[in-house]
Amino acid sequence: FNQMAGTIQHQLVELKAAKTELEARVLERTQKLQASESFLHSLLENLPVYVFRKDTGGRFTFVNRYYCERRGLPAAAVVGRTDFDLSPADLAEKYRQDDLSVMSTRTLLEVEERQIQADGTTIWLQSIKVPVFDEEGKCVGVEGIALDVTERKRAEAAVSKEQERLKSIFEAVPVGICLNRRYGDKTVLRMINDAHLRIAGITREEDARVGGNLWRRITHPEDVVRQDVMHSRVEAGEMS
Of the candidate ranges 31-35, 106-110, 186-190, 201-205, the one whose mean pLDDT is the lowest = 186-190
Tell me the mean pLDDT in the region 41-61: 89
Tell me the mean pLDDT in the region 232-236: 71
What local confidence, expressed as pLDDT, does residue 177 receive? Answer: 82
Which burial class, exposed, middle or buried, applies to 78 when counting CB atoms under 10 A from its CB (0-12, 13-18, 19+)?
A: buried
Of 114, 112, 146, 109, nearest to 129 (Cα)? 109
- Greater confidence (155 vs 205) lies with 155
Asked if residues 191 and 178 have their Cβ atoms less than 8 Å apart, the reply is yes
**Would the pLDDT of 128 be above 60?**
yes
Of the candidate ranges 26-30, 51-55, 132-136, 176-180, the one whose mean pLDDT is the lowest = 26-30
Alpha carbons 142 and 154: distance in angstroms, whole number: 29
Alpha carbons 190 and 196: distance in angstroms, whole number: 13
**Biggest distance spanned by C-alpha atoms of the chain:** 122
**Would the pLDDT of 39 be above 60?**
no
Per-residue pLDDT band for 29 (boundaries 50, 70, 90) equals confident
What local confidence, expressed as pLDDT, does residue 90 receive? Answer: 95
Tell me the mean pLDDT in the region 95-119: 95
Alpha carbons 145 and 43: distance in angstroms, whole number: 13
In Å, what is the CA distance from 79 to each residue of 95, 112, 116, 117? Answer: 16, 23, 18, 17
Of 196, 169, 168, nearest to 180 (Cα)? 196
Alpha carbons 235 and 180: distance in angstroms, whole number: 11
pTM of the model: 0.61
Of the candidate ranges 67-71, 109-113, 136-140, 166-170, the one whose mean pLDDT is the lowest = 166-170
What local confidence, expressed as pLDDT, does residue 45 receive? Answer: 81
**Would the pLDDT of 210 be above 60?**
no
